[in-house]
Structure 1
Amino acid sequence: MNYMHNLTKFPFTVNYIIILLVTAIIALILTPIMVFVSRRIGAVDNPNARRINLKPMPSAGGVAIFLAFSVITLFVLPRFVGLANHNRVNATYLNYIWPIILGGGIVAITGLIDDILEIGAKSKLLGQTLGACVIWFFSTSRFDNFKIPFGGPLLIFPTWLSFFATIFWILAITNALNLIDGLDGLASGVSIISLTTMGIVSYFFLGTSDIYLPVTIFVLVFAIGGFFPYNFPPAIIYLGDTGALFLGFMISVLSLQGLKNATAVAIVTPMLILGVPLTDTVVAMIRRKLNGGSIAVADRMHLHHRLLSLGLTPHAAVLVIYGIAGIFSFIALILNVSSRWGGIFLLIFSLIGLEVMIELVGVLGKDRTPLLHIIKFVGNSDYRQEVKKKGKM
């Protein structure tokens, strides 16, 4: 106790750096323990037609991240953060964080049960929804309004719409991150990139002196960082649904704090930061509908599958997707310092570039390349004549 008291005498920045390092060390120690525990409890990812791994892999690595994050935010940060916060007069950090830990814990336990028993999609969705309800009822992370981008009106949601919008946002982001968890280090690396960008945006661009959000985000980043060396290819342990669902849930909840700013940039920024999982999920739903199937039926046409089919190694495919996530994050940062028209043009060209990438990689499926056809029609006179002839026939 005297040691903790002495620490409070240091500047908050020094204390916080120590806390971040301790967070990473806890995850670094817990992860190899979870390799052993995962095998003992049956949380093992066995090879099958949809998975990349060729041997059984322990898959409850997310427990290490959850425990490191929870221990620090529940028992360490409340002693320090209040000293540096100037915006929450009637609230303590513990009041702020416990609903997030409780909701995240419910989702993590749901994922752990799935890692062990492989429960159905409805059961997993029930656990996620319960965690999302905890957030709406016991925290301030809510989707209360929506500003129509670039000069449009501010829409204030009634309570019932706020509830459904909040639950939908949390479920969408949670499952989007889970869907991209198909290669060693993919979901954990993308989470680090997205959360780091979110932390920078929350500290410098949200226009509030509230320090709770960036402080929490970077603790989560360092918890993932302690796990990451064991998960980067070639991995010795997977996040599993425990980790993928927990991280998706945390990203969705923390990003809701940014939506409170009620500006166009605040609405668009988290969508850009989460560009990789959101794009992959939306494109997957469109593709499955175009193919006449159910949007819930899994396939091997996700971005990482397509990169592998193009001949990239799993290691290279992961690095490519890191690069794409980095580009999205960079655009999100630039958007926060752009003028209105600069932001509009930035988003337009970003969407065009994204569509070209989707079509080049073939994520939508074979021969579904409308933008590339237009570009070819404009830039290739022979192809243009060929199309005109076909149109006359």
Structure 2
Amino acid sequence: MREYLLTLCVTAAVTYLLTGPVRKFAIVAGAMPEIRARDVHREPTPRLGGIAMFFGLCAGLLVADHLTNLSEVFQNSNEPRALLSGAALIWLIGVLDDKFEIDALIKLGGQMIAAGVMVMQGLTILWLPIPGVGNVALTQWQGTLLTVALVVITINAVNFVDGLDGLASGMVCIAAAAFFLYAYRIWYSYGIEAAAPATLFSAILMGMCLGFLPHNMHPARIFMGDSGSMLIGLVLAAGAISITGQVDPDALQLFVGSEKAAVHQTVPVYIPLLLPLTIIAVPAADLVLAIVRRTWRGQSPFAADRGHLHHRLLEIGHSHSRAVLIMYFWSALIAFGALSYSVNSASMWIVLGIVFLSAIGLVLLLLPRFTPRAPRWAEHLVPPRYRRRRAGVDPVVVLAEEERDPRPPVASGVSGVNGATAVGARSRLLDGRKAESSR
């Protein structure tokens, strides 16, 4: 575990430290597109954040190759090299798109080529465990087509959900954390070495997201762009393919008694082949809804719009930060719910807990105007909008202070309807004072 944590920290540190210089480079290179109709940010923001994430990936693989235990992953498997080859190709396509905005069909072709490169180097699905049936071997063409489809769907699912500050990186980090815990359990609890590459990929993916997230939280200083969203989507898909298509359920028979029981034991990981990923079911559902919505309107499935789930959260009244947190909540509920079910599928408490948390999530969705207040002792730890109003504050004194330091109310966190109300109140108070002074 210590070597995985070291790899994660090195990946996060390299990504974090490189994001600042990459931001300056993106500004100089002109990778700051104009604000589009579907965008939610108000100022042009540089992209190309995927450059820092890619070098974080390279640093994580380099460090892991020189560690005592993790170096065996590179000696016994060609999957890390296959991942690096596919990641480099998809990253290059993303960089070109961030700068020149290449055609959607060209990007789709590049995604398929990147998936094919990984398949040629051994990162492919060899068999398909089916609950209740057992282990079903796949032909070379079946495994290739299934692998390419899973990679392309996952990349586009992550790319579609990248619409709010910190949303894609946070959701993928949550998915990677759940996947890491499951793969680590398969690797060390059952002693199945085939799960080691997926465990390493998940740890590196968490580091990439955690290192970039501080720069990408609202208000974002830099966007990951397609160079980042397609990259982390490919890494996530590579981990799922590695553990799904390489870990033989027959090896689990020593622990659970039979092949069917072994397949049932690993159901939460094999479900991703159908959804395509249970651990990112929210962006996958958003992807399906977007394709259906655009096709119904007679548009291209790749035509961007403002109908995504995060856009709908903003429309019903949620703030930017709250919409992101709600998406985090649902992603964590699905990912860790599947993880808990894989540990003990016979426990009714797990089902009841998921139902209870789902009810809480629905309540949060229906209360967009509700603003929680922090207790007195924690007010200095939270933003001003979550602090309680002080009783007995004279509005004239506040106005006098604002006159000495005139700044727009939006800069102090006031926006929307409340901001307009505050501005109107201040204007009326100023007019009243001027009228009194003229008399």
The normalised TM-score by structure 2 is 0.70
- Separation in 2, partners of 1:84, 1:30: 25
Aligned counterpart, 1:251 = 236
How do 1:43-82 residues align onto structure 2 when only pairs under 5 Å count? 43-73=31-61, 75-82=62-69
- Separation in 2, partners of 1:257, 1:81: 22
Q: C-alpha offsets along residues 91-149 of structure 1, whole Å, 9 cap, x if unaligned?
A: 6178431221111010011000000000000111122111111110003x312333333
The amino acid of 1:312's aligned partner reads: H
Shift of 1:181: 0.3
- Structure-2 change in CA distance of 1:177 and 1:16 (3 Å): closer
Gaps in structure 1 of 5+ consecutive residues: 1-12, 362-393
- Structure-2 change in CA distance of 1:42 and 1:14 (3 Å): same
Which of the residues 194, 199, 209 maps onto 1:224? 209
- Structure-2 change in CA distance of 1:346 and 1:294 (3 Å): farther
- Separation in 1, partners of 2:153, 2:346: 28
Question: Is 1:122 the counterpart of 2:110 in the alignment?
Answer: no
Aligned counterpart, 1:36 = 24
Gaps in structure 2 of 5+ consecutive residues: 250-262, 367-439
Secondary structure at the residue paired with 2:128? strand
The amino acid of 2:50's aligned partner reads: G
Question: Is 1:314 the counterpart of 2:297 in the alignment?
Answer: no
Relative CO higher for 1 or 2, CA cutoff 8 Å, sep ≥ 6? 1
Which of the residues 234, 240, 248 maps onto 2:225? 240
How do 1:277-356 residues align onto structure 2 when only pairs under 5 Å count? 277-339=283-345
Aligned counterpart, 2:141 = 160
Secondary structure at the residue paired with 1:211? helix
Q: C-alpha offsets along residues 219-245 of structure 1, whole Å, 9 cap, x if unaligned?
A: 221122111100011110001000001
- Separation in 1, partners of 2:345, 2:70: 36
- Separation in 2, partners of 1:316, 1:232: 12
Shift of 1:155: 3.0
- Separation in 1, partners of 2:51, 2:296: 38
- Separation in 1, partners of 2:297, 2:167: 27
How do 1:105-184 residues align onto structure 2 when only pairs under 5 Å count? 105-139=88-122, 141-149=123-131, 151-184=132-165
Secondary structure at the residue paired with 1:55? coil
- Whether contact under 8 Å (2:3, 2:70) holds in the other structure is no
Shift of 1:178: 0.1
- Separation in 2, partners of 1:163, 1:15: 32
Secondary structure at the residue paired with 2:150? helix
Which of the residues 268, 272, 277 maps onto 2:271? 268
Aligned counterpart, 1:195 = 176
Secondary structure at the residue paired with 1:58? coil
The normalised TM-score by structure 1 is 0.78
- Separation in 2, partners of 1:340, 1:103: 39
- Whether contact under 8 Å (1:84, 1:211) holds in the other structure is no
How do 1:350-369 residues align onto structure 2 when only pairs under 5 Å count? none
- Structure-2 change in CA distance of 1:164 and 1:18 (3 Å): closer
The amino acid of 1:21's aligned partner reads: C
- Separation in 2, partners of 1:68, 1:247: 11
Shift of 1:160: 1.0
- Structure-2 change in CA distance of 1:199 and 1:43 (3 Å): same
- Separation in 2, partners of 1:248, 1:291: 27
Secondary structure at the residue paired with 2:344? coil
- Whether contact under 8 Å (1:272, 1:331) holds in the other structure is no
- Whether contact under 8 Å (1:27, 1:64) holds in the other structure is yes
Question: Is 1:25 the counterpart of 2:13 in the alignment?
Answer: yes
The amino acid of 1:332's aligned partner reads: A
Identity of aligned residues (%): 29
The amino acid of 1:197's aligned partner reads: A
Q: C-alpha offsets along residues 252-287 of structure 1, whole Å, 9 cap, x if unaligned?
A: 111112213453333126722111111111122233
Query: Which protein shows a greater Rg?
Result: 2
- Separation in 2, partners of 1:135, 1:186: 27
Secondary structure at the residue paired with 1:301? coil
Secondary structure at the residue paired with 1:183? coil
The amino acid of 1:146's aligned partner reads: L
The amino acid of 1:145's aligned partner reads: W
Greater Cα shift, 197-206 or 307-316: 197-206
- Whether contact under 8 Å (2:157, 2:283) holds in the other structure is yes
The amino acid of 1:126's aligned partner reads: G
- Separation in 1, partners of 2:70, 2:317: 53
- Separation in 2, partners of 1:199, 1:341: 22
- Structure-2 change in CA distance of 1:81 and 1:251 (3 Å): farther
Aligned counterpart, 1:9 = none
The amino acid of 2:116's aligned partner reads: C
Shift of 1:72: 2.7
- Structure-2 change in CA distance of 1:336 and 1:165 (3 Å): same
- Separation in 2, partners of 1:21, 1:294: 41
The amino acid of 2:204's aligned partner reads: V
Greater Cα shift, 103-112 or 286-295: 286-295
